[in-house]
Amino acid sequence: MDKFIIHGGRKLKGTVEIGGSKNAALPILMATLLTDETCIINRVPDLRDIRTTIKILQELGKKVEYDAGTLTVKAGRKLKTEVPYDLVKQMRASFWVAGPLLARFKKAVIPLPGGCAIGVRPVDIHLKGFEKLGAKALVQNGNVILKTRKLNPAKIILSFPSVGATQNLLMCACLIKGKTVLENVAREPEVSDFIKALKSMGADITEDAKGRLIIEGKSELGAMEHTVSPDRIQTGTYIIAGAITRGDVTVKDCQPEDNEILLDYLKEAGFDIQTGADFIRIKPKCKKIKPVNIKTAPFPGFATDLQAPFMALMCLCSGQSEISEDIFENRFMHAPELVRMGANIMIERNTAKITGVKNFSPAVVMSSDLRGGAALVLAGLCAKGVSEVERIYHIDRGYERLEENLTQLGAKIKRVNPVK
Protein backbone atom coordinates (compact mmCIF):
# COMPACT_ATOMS: atom_id res chain seq x y z
CA MET A 1 0.00 0.00 0.00
CA ASP A 2 1.10 3.57 -0.71
CA LYS A 3 2.32 5.77 2.12
CA PHE A 4 3.58 9.31 2.56
CA ILE A 5 7.12 10.13 3.66
CA ILE A 6 7.19 13.63 5.14
CA HIS A 7 10.25 15.68 6.08
CA GLY A 8 8.65 18.17 8.44
CA GLY A 9 9.59 21.54 9.85
CA ARG A 10 9.05 23.70 6.77
CA LYS A 11 6.77 26.72 6.62
CA LEU A 12 4.33 26.53 3.74
CA LYS A 13 4.19 29.46 1.36
CA GLY A 14 2.40 30.07 -1.90
CA THR A 15 -0.93 29.57 -3.63
CA VAL A 16 -3.05 26.48 -4.16
CA GLU A 17 -6.11 26.23 -6.40
CA ILE A 18 -9.14 24.33 -5.19
CA GLY A 19 -10.94 21.86 -7.42
CA GLY A 20 -14.49 20.57 -7.40
CA SER A 21 -16.11 19.28 -4.23
CA LYS A 22 -16.20 15.53 -3.76
CA ASN A 23 -19.18 15.81 -1.42
CA ALA A 24 -21.05 17.81 -4.06
CA ALA A 25 -19.99 15.73 -7.05
CA LEU A 26 -20.95 12.29 -5.71
CA PRO A 27 -24.73 12.85 -5.38
CA ILE A 28 -24.76 14.82 -8.63
CA LEU A 29 -23.26 11.80 -10.39
CA MET A 30 -25.92 9.58 -8.82
CA ALA A 31 -28.62 11.99 -10.03
CA THR A 32 -27.78 11.06 -13.62
CA LEU A 33 -29.74 7.84 -12.91
CA LEU A 34 -32.90 9.98 -12.95
CA THR A 35 -32.76 10.41 -16.74
CA ASP A 36 -31.82 8.71 -19.99
CA GLU A 37 -30.65 12.03 -21.41
CA THR A 38 -26.98 13.02 -21.62
CA CYS A 39 -25.51 14.61 -18.50
CA ILE A 40 -22.32 16.71 -18.59
CA ILE A 41 -20.67 17.53 -15.26
CA ASN A 42 -17.64 19.81 -15.12
CA ARG A 43 -14.92 20.23 -12.48
CA VAL A 44 -15.26 16.67 -11.22
CA PRO A 45 -12.27 15.83 -9.00
CA ASP A 46 -10.16 12.78 -9.83
CA LEU A 47 -10.59 10.85 -6.60
CA ARG A 48 -10.96 7.25 -5.51
CA ASP A 49 -14.61 7.77 -4.53
CA ILE A 50 -15.38 9.35 -7.91
CA ARG A 51 -13.86 6.38 -9.71
CA THR A 52 -15.92 4.01 -7.53
CA THR A 53 -19.07 5.98 -8.41
CA ILE A 54 -18.25 5.73 -12.12
CA LYS A 55 -17.98 1.95 -11.73
CA ILE A 56 -21.37 1.87 -9.98
CA LEU A 57 -23.00 3.86 -12.78
CA GLN A 58 -21.43 1.58 -15.39
CA GLU A 59 -22.48 -1.54 -13.50
CA LEU A 60 -26.05 -0.25 -13.40
CA GLY A 61 -26.02 0.32 -17.17
CA LYS A 62 -24.78 3.85 -17.87
CA LYS A 63 -22.08 4.81 -20.37
CA VAL A 64 -19.55 7.08 -18.68
CA GLU A 65 -16.68 9.11 -20.12
CA TYR A 66 -14.27 11.01 -17.88
CA ASP A 67 -11.72 13.38 -19.38
CA ALA A 68 -9.82 16.33 -17.89
CA GLY A 69 -12.33 16.91 -15.11
CA THR A 70 -15.42 16.64 -17.31
CA LEU A 71 -17.67 13.64 -16.84
CA THR A 72 -20.26 12.70 -19.46
CA VAL A 73 -22.98 10.19 -18.63
CA LYS A 74 -25.18 8.70 -21.34
CA ALA A 75 -27.84 6.04 -21.55
CA GLY A 76 -26.51 2.55 -22.13
CA ARG A 77 -28.27 -0.73 -21.60
CA LYS A 78 -31.43 -1.10 -19.52
CA LEU A 79 -30.66 0.01 -15.99
CA LYS A 80 -30.32 -2.57 -13.25
CA THR A 81 -31.91 -2.05 -9.85
CA GLU A 82 -29.34 -3.91 -7.76
CA VAL A 83 -25.82 -2.78 -6.90
CA PRO A 84 -23.07 -5.36 -6.19
CA TYR A 85 -21.60 -5.43 -2.68
CA ASP A 86 -17.97 -5.23 -3.83
CA LEU A 87 -18.63 -1.64 -5.02
CA VAL A 88 -21.00 -0.50 -2.29
CA LYS A 89 -18.67 -1.59 0.50
CA GLN A 90 -16.06 0.93 -0.65
CA MET A 91 -18.02 4.08 0.20
CA ARG A 92 -21.13 5.16 2.00
CA ALA A 93 -22.29 7.52 -0.76
CA SER A 94 -23.22 4.48 -2.84
CA PHE A 95 -26.55 4.43 -1.00
CA TRP A 96 -27.58 7.50 -3.02
CA VAL A 97 -28.59 5.18 -5.87
CA ALA A 98 -31.67 4.25 -3.82
CA GLY A 99 -33.64 7.43 -4.51
CA PRO A 100 -33.41 7.49 -8.31
CA LEU A 101 -33.81 3.72 -8.74
CA LEU A 102 -36.86 3.63 -6.48
CA ALA A 103 -38.39 6.63 -8.26
CA ARG A 104 -37.91 5.21 -11.76
CA PHE A 105 -38.37 1.48 -11.27
CA LYS A 106 -40.25 1.20 -7.95
CA LYS A 107 -37.59 -1.10 -6.56
CA ALA A 108 -33.97 -1.09 -5.49
CA VAL A 109 -31.65 -3.52 -3.75
CA ILE A 110 -28.59 -1.96 -2.13
CA PRO A 111 -26.14 -3.65 0.24
CA LEU A 112 -25.63 -1.69 3.44
CA PRO A 113 -22.87 0.81 2.59
CA GLY A 114 -19.26 1.04 3.72
CA GLY A 115 -16.73 3.89 3.70
CA CYS A 116 -14.72 5.39 6.55
CA ALA A 117 -14.78 3.57 9.88
CA ILE A 118 -16.19 6.50 11.86
CA GLY A 119 -19.24 5.01 13.47
CA VAL A 120 -22.47 3.31 12.56
CA ARG A 121 -23.98 6.18 10.52
CA PRO A 122 -27.32 4.37 9.99
CA VAL A 123 -29.50 4.89 6.92
CA ASP A 124 -32.71 4.85 8.94
CA ILE A 125 -33.50 8.50 8.11
CA HIS A 126 -33.41 7.60 4.40
CA LEU A 127 -35.62 4.56 4.92
CA LYS A 128 -38.24 6.36 7.02
CA GLY A 129 -38.46 8.99 4.29
CA PHE A 130 -38.91 6.40 1.55
CA GLU A 131 -41.63 4.74 3.62
CA LYS A 132 -43.43 8.09 3.89
CA LEU A 133 -43.38 8.21 0.10
CA GLY A 134 -45.06 4.81 -0.09
CA ALA A 135 -42.17 2.34 -0.31
CA LYS A 136 -41.68 -0.74 1.82
CA ALA A 137 -38.19 -1.05 3.28
CA LEU A 138 -36.70 -4.34 4.41
CA VAL A 139 -33.19 -5.06 5.65
CA GLN A 140 -32.34 -8.67 4.85
CA ASN A 141 -29.04 -10.54 4.57
CA GLY A 142 -27.07 -7.31 4.62
CA ASN A 143 -29.18 -5.72 1.87
CA VAL A 144 -31.69 -2.90 1.94
CA ILE A 145 -34.65 -3.92 -0.22
CA LEU A 146 -36.98 -1.14 -1.32
CA LYS A 147 -40.12 -1.78 -3.34
CA THR A 148 -43.55 -0.35 -4.02
CA ARG A 149 -46.37 -0.41 -6.54
CA LYS A 150 -46.79 3.34 -6.43
CA LEU A 151 -45.02 6.27 -4.81
CA ASN A 152 -47.04 9.19 -3.49
CA PRO A 153 -46.08 12.76 -2.54
CA ALA A 154 -45.82 13.40 1.18
CA LYS A 155 -44.73 15.77 3.90
CA ILE A 156 -41.54 14.47 5.51
CA ILE A 157 -39.91 15.89 8.64
CA LEU A 158 -36.36 14.60 8.98
CA SER A 159 -35.41 13.62 12.55
CA PHE A 160 -31.95 15.08 11.84
CA PRO A 161 -30.82 17.35 8.98
CA SER A 162 -28.93 14.55 7.25
CA VAL A 163 -27.17 15.58 4.04
CA GLY A 164 -27.47 12.14 2.47
CA ALA A 165 -31.13 11.69 3.37
CA THR A 166 -32.01 15.17 2.12
CA GLN A 167 -30.40 14.45 -1.25
CA ASN A 168 -31.76 10.92 -1.58
CA LEU A 169 -35.33 12.01 -0.85
CA LEU A 170 -35.00 15.00 -3.19
CA MET A 171 -34.07 12.70 -6.07
CA CYS A 172 -36.95 10.37 -5.37
CA ALA A 173 -39.50 13.18 -4.98
CA CYS A 174 -38.50 14.79 -8.28
CA LEU A 175 -40.21 11.93 -10.15
CA ILE A 176 -43.33 11.63 -7.96
CA LYS A 177 -46.24 13.60 -9.38
CA GLY A 178 -47.63 16.04 -6.83
CA LYS A 179 -46.15 18.18 -4.08
CA THR A 180 -43.65 16.72 -1.63
CA VAL A 181 -42.46 18.81 1.31
CA LEU A 182 -39.16 18.15 3.08
CA GLU A 183 -38.69 19.77 6.48
CA ASN A 184 -35.61 20.03 8.75
CA VAL A 185 -33.37 19.50 5.73
CA ALA A 186 -29.59 19.85 5.49
CA ARG A 187 -28.28 23.34 4.63
CA GLU A 188 -24.74 22.43 3.56
CA PRO A 189 -23.38 24.23 0.47
CA GLU A 190 -23.11 20.83 -1.22
CA VAL A 191 -26.89 20.44 -0.93
CA SER A 192 -27.43 23.85 -2.54
CA ASP A 193 -25.12 22.86 -5.40
CA PHE A 194 -26.97 19.55 -5.76
CA ILE A 195 -30.31 21.36 -6.05
CA LYS A 196 -28.85 23.56 -8.80
CA ALA A 197 -27.86 20.42 -10.70
CA LEU A 198 -31.35 18.93 -10.34
CA LYS A 199 -32.91 22.18 -11.54
CA SER A 200 -30.70 22.08 -14.64
CA MET A 201 -32.46 18.77 -15.43
CA GLY A 202 -35.86 20.44 -15.13
CA ALA A 203 -36.66 19.61 -11.51
CA ASP A 204 -39.12 21.96 -9.77
CA ILE A 205 -37.66 22.66 -6.32
CA THR A 206 -38.32 25.76 -4.24
CA GLU A 207 -37.74 26.82 -0.65
CA ASP A 208 -40.51 28.45 1.36
CA ALA A 209 -40.26 31.08 4.09
CA LYS A 210 -39.90 28.36 6.74
CA GLY A 211 -36.89 26.81 5.03
CA ARG A 212 -38.81 23.78 3.78
CA LEU A 213 -38.06 22.33 0.36
CA ILE A 214 -41.09 22.07 -1.92
CA ILE A 215 -40.79 19.58 -4.78
CA GLU A 216 -43.38 19.49 -7.56
CA GLY A 217 -42.73 16.09 -9.09
CA LYS A 218 -42.56 15.46 -12.82
CA SER A 219 -42.98 12.38 -14.98
CA GLU A 220 -39.41 12.67 -16.26
CA LEU A 221 -36.28 14.81 -16.11
CA GLY A 222 -34.03 15.89 -18.96
CA ALA A 223 -30.36 16.44 -19.69
CA MET A 224 -27.97 18.03 -17.21
CA GLU A 225 -25.05 20.39 -17.59
CA HIS A 226 -23.48 21.56 -14.36
CA THR A 227 -20.18 22.72 -12.89
CA VAL A 228 -19.39 21.38 -9.43
CA SER A 229 -18.80 23.91 -6.65
CA PRO A 230 -15.36 24.26 -4.98
CA ASP A 231 -14.42 21.83 -2.21
CA ARG A 232 -14.80 23.65 1.12
CA ILE A 233 -13.18 20.79 3.08
CA GLN A 234 -10.05 20.87 0.95
CA THR A 235 -10.12 24.66 1.27
CA GLY A 236 -10.25 24.42 5.05
CA THR A 237 -7.54 21.77 5.18
CA TYR A 238 -5.05 23.86 3.20
CA ILE A 239 -5.81 26.94 5.29
CA ILE A 240 -5.17 24.90 8.45
CA ALA A 241 -1.96 23.59 6.85
CA GLY A 242 -0.82 27.19 6.48
CA ALA A 243 -1.78 27.89 10.09
CA ILE A 244 -0.12 24.84 11.63
CA THR A 245 3.20 25.49 9.82
CA ARG A 246 3.02 29.26 10.52
CA GLY A 247 3.09 29.76 6.77
CA ASP A 248 1.70 32.24 4.26
CA VAL A 249 -0.82 30.34 2.16
CA THR A 250 -3.44 31.60 -0.28
CA VAL A 251 -6.27 29.33 -1.39
CA LYS A 252 -7.80 30.34 -4.73
CA ASP A 253 -10.98 29.41 -6.61
CA CYS A 254 -12.85 28.81 -3.37
CA GLN A 255 -15.98 30.23 -1.73
CA PRO A 256 -14.88 31.89 1.54
CA GLU A 257 -18.45 32.14 2.82
CA ASP A 258 -18.62 28.33 2.96
CA ASN A 259 -15.84 28.30 5.58
CA GLU A 260 -16.91 31.33 7.58
CA ILE A 261 -17.05 29.60 10.97
CA LEU A 262 -13.61 28.01 10.46
CA LEU A 263 -12.14 31.41 9.62
CA ASP A 264 -13.76 32.91 12.71
CA TYR A 265 -12.17 30.22 14.90
CA LEU A 266 -8.77 30.73 13.25
CA LYS A 267 -9.01 34.47 13.98
CA GLU A 268 -9.92 33.62 17.57
CA ALA A 269 -6.80 31.42 17.70
CA GLY A 270 -4.73 34.46 16.71
CA PHE A 271 -4.28 34.09 12.95
CA ASP A 272 -4.45 36.89 10.38
CA ILE A 273 -6.99 35.98 7.70
CA GLN A 274 -7.70 37.88 4.49
CA THR A 275 -10.56 37.02 2.13
CA GLY A 276 -11.78 38.13 -1.28
CA ALA A 277 -14.52 37.02 -3.62
CA ASP A 278 -12.76 33.74 -4.42
CA PHE A 279 -9.70 33.48 -2.18
CA ILE A 280 -8.57 33.08 1.43
CA ARG A 281 -5.11 33.98 2.67
CA ILE A 282 -3.61 33.08 6.04
CA LYS A 283 -0.54 35.07 7.07
CA PRO A 284 2.29 34.12 9.45
CA LYS A 285 1.65 36.65 12.23
CA CYS A 286 0.57 34.24 14.98
CA LYS A 287 3.34 33.79 17.58
CA LYS A 288 1.25 31.66 19.94
CA ILE A 289 -1.81 29.64 18.97
CA LYS A 290 -4.62 30.50 21.37
CA PRO A 291 -6.81 27.59 22.51
CA VAL A 292 -10.26 27.43 20.93
CA ASN A 293 -13.19 25.22 21.92
CA ILE A 294 -15.38 23.89 19.11
CA LYS A 295 -18.41 21.67 18.63
CA THR A 296 -19.20 20.07 15.30
CA ALA A 297 -22.68 20.78 13.97
CA PRO A 298 -24.66 20.79 10.74
CA PHE A 299 -23.99 23.77 8.46
CA PRO A 300 -23.57 26.66 9.19
CA GLY A 301 -21.92 25.10 12.25
CA PHE A 302 -18.39 23.72 12.34
CA ALA A 303 -17.97 20.94 9.76
CA THR A 304 -17.33 17.48 11.18
CA ASP A 305 -15.01 16.88 8.20
CA LEU A 306 -12.68 19.61 9.50
CA GLN A 307 -12.68 18.39 13.09
CA ALA A 308 -9.59 16.19 12.69
CA PRO A 309 -7.42 18.79 10.89
CA PHE A 310 -8.45 21.42 13.46
CA MET A 311 -7.56 19.01 16.28
CA ALA A 312 -4.04 18.75 14.86
CA LEU A 313 -3.80 22.55 15.03
CA MET A 314 -5.10 22.69 18.61
CA CYS A 315 -2.47 20.15 19.66
CA LEU A 316 0.01 23.04 19.35
CA CYS A 317 -2.05 25.66 21.21
CA SER A 318 -0.74 27.50 24.26
CA GLY A 319 -3.23 26.12 26.76
CA GLN A 320 -6.16 23.70 26.78
CA SER A 321 -8.76 23.18 24.09
CA GLU A 322 -11.89 21.04 23.89
CA ILE A 323 -13.37 19.59 20.72
CA SER A 324 -16.82 17.99 20.87
CA GLU A 325 -17.92 15.71 18.04
CA ASP A 326 -21.71 15.96 17.88
CA ILE A 327 -22.31 14.50 14.39
CA PHE A 328 -20.64 11.07 14.33
CA GLU A 329 -19.63 8.75 17.12
CA ASN A 330 -16.17 7.20 17.03
CA ARG A 331 -14.65 10.02 15.00
CA PHE A 332 -11.58 10.44 17.19
CA MET A 333 -9.66 7.50 15.75
CA HIS A 334 -6.89 9.87 14.67
CA ALA A 335 -6.30 11.02 18.26
CA PRO A 336 -4.18 8.00 19.37
CA GLU A 337 -2.01 8.45 16.28
CA LEU A 338 -1.52 12.14 17.08
CA VAL A 339 -0.54 11.07 20.60
CA ARG A 340 2.11 8.83 19.02
CA MET A 341 3.49 12.04 17.54
CA GLY A 342 3.68 13.72 20.93
CA ALA A 343 0.20 15.26 21.30
CA ASN A 344 -1.52 15.40 24.69
CA ILE A 345 -5.14 14.34 24.12
CA MET A 346 -7.66 12.78 26.50
CA ILE A 347 -10.93 11.41 25.11
CA GLU A 348 -14.09 11.49 27.23
CA ARG A 349 -17.08 10.16 25.28
CA ASN A 350 -17.63 12.64 22.44
CA THR A 351 -15.15 15.24 23.69
CA ALA A 352 -11.41 15.50 23.11
CA LYS A 353 -9.54 17.45 25.79
CA ILE A 354 -6.29 18.76 24.38
CA THR A 355 -3.35 20.27 26.23
CA GLY A 356 -1.05 22.02 23.78
CA VAL A 357 2.55 20.90 23.26
CA LYS A 358 5.48 22.77 21.71
CA ASN A 359 5.63 20.62 18.58
CA PHE A 360 4.93 17.19 17.18
CA SER A 361 7.58 14.49 17.10
CA PRO A 362 8.22 12.49 13.92
CA ALA A 363 6.70 9.00 13.93
CA VAL A 364 5.21 6.26 11.81
CA VAL A 365 1.43 6.56 11.98
CA MET A 366 -1.58 5.03 10.26
CA SER A 367 -4.69 6.72 8.90
CA SER A 368 -7.99 5.05 9.71
CA ASP A 369 -10.26 7.42 7.81
CA LEU A 370 -10.16 10.20 5.24
CA ARG A 371 -10.08 13.35 7.37
CA GLY A 372 -8.12 11.74 10.19
CA GLY A 373 -5.46 10.85 7.64
CA ALA A 374 -5.27 14.49 6.57
CA ALA A 375 -4.73 15.49 10.22
CA LEU A 376 -1.76 13.13 10.44
CA VAL A 377 -0.24 14.68 7.32
CA LEU A 378 -0.59 18.14 8.89
CA ALA A 379 1.13 16.91 12.04
CA GLY A 380 3.92 15.43 9.91
CA LEU A 381 4.43 18.79 8.19
CA CYS A 382 5.26 20.30 11.60
CA ALA A 383 7.34 17.54 13.16
CA LYS A 384 11.05 18.20 12.65
CA GLY A 385 12.32 14.97 11.18
CA VAL A 386 10.90 12.20 9.03
CA SER A 387 7.35 10.94 9.54
CA GLU A 388 5.47 8.25 7.67
CA VAL A 389 1.71 8.13 7.14
CA GLU A 390 0.47 4.69 6.13
CA ARG A 391 -2.83 3.54 4.60
CA ILE A 392 -3.17 6.73 2.62
CA TYR A 393 -5.78 5.13 0.37
CA HIS A 394 -8.21 6.70 2.85
CA ILE A 395 -6.79 10.14 2.06
CA ASP A 396 -7.03 9.47 -1.68
CA ARG A 397 -10.80 9.22 -1.29
CA GLY A 398 -11.11 12.97 -0.72
CA TYR A 399 -7.93 14.90 -1.55
CA GLU A 400 -6.92 15.39 -5.16
CA ARG A 401 -3.13 15.55 -5.71
CA LEU A 402 -2.52 16.30 -2.03
CA GLU A 403 1.22 15.67 -2.10
CA GLU A 404 1.63 17.68 -5.31
CA ASN A 405 -0.20 20.69 -3.88
CA LEU A 406 1.73 20.56 -0.61
CA THR A 407 5.03 20.25 -2.51
CA GLN A 408 4.05 23.32 -4.52
CA LEU A 409 3.65 25.14 -1.19
CA GLY A 410 7.15 24.13 -0.08
CA ALA A 411 6.52 20.90 1.82
CA LYS A 412 8.86 17.94 1.42
CA ILE A 413 6.47 15.03 0.98
CA LYS A 414 6.48 12.07 -1.36
CA ARG A 415 4.34 9.06 -2.04
CA VAL A 416 6.07 5.70 -1.97
CA ASN A 417 4.81 2.23 -2.69
CA PRO A 418 6.68 -0.34 -0.58
CA VAL A 419 7.50 -3.71 -2.06
CA LYS A 420 4.38 -5.83 -1.94
Q: How far is C-alpha 410 from the geometric centre of its chain's CA atoms?
A: 26
| Architecture of the structural domain at 3-19+230-416 | Alpha-beta prism (3.65)
Which of 119-123, 235-239, 414-418 bottoms out in mean pLDDT, i.e. has the lowest? 119-123
Q: Is the pLDDT of residue 7 over 60?
A: yes
Binned at pLDDT 50, 70 and 90, residue 120 comes out as: very low
Residues of the chain with CATH 3.65.10.10: 3-19+230-416, 22-227
pLDDT the model gives residue 215: 98
User: What is the pLDDT of the chain when averaged over all its residues?
Assistant: 94
Task: Decide if pLDDT at 306 tops 50.
Answer: yes
At 115 the pLDDT is 46
What percentage of the chain exceeds 90 in pLDDT?
Answer: 87
User: pLDDT at residue 304 above 60?
Assistant: yes
CATH of range 22-227; options 3.65.10.10, 3.10.105.10, 1.20.1560.10, 3.40.50.720: 3.65.10.10
Judging by beta carbons within 10 Å of its beta carbon (0-12, 13-18, 19+), is residue 294 exposed, middle or buried? buried
Query: Is a pLDDT exceeding 90 seen at residue 162?
Result: yes
d(CA 269, CA 76): 53
Q: Is the pLDDT of residue 141 over 80?
A: yes
In this prediction, residues 152-176 reach a mean pLDDT of: 97
Q: How many CB atoms lie within 10 A of CB 42?
A: 13
Kindly report, residue by residue over 206-228, the tens digit of the pLDDT.
999 999 999 999 999 999 999 99
Least trusted range by pLDDT, from 7-21, 82-96, 112-126, 302-316: 112-126
Burial class (CB in 10 A: 0-12, 13-18, 19+), 26: buried
pLDDT for position 114: 54
Catalytic residues, by residue number, are: 116
Is residue 420 predicted with pLDDT exceeding 70?
Answer: no
**At residue 129, does pLDDT exceed 50?**
yes
Q: Give the tens place of pLDDT for each residue, 271-289.
A: 999 999 999 999 988 889 9
Binning pLDDT at 50, 70 and 90, where does residue 150 land?
very high
> What percentage of the chain exceeds 70 in pLDDT?
97
Q: Is 93's pLDDT higher than 60?
A: yes
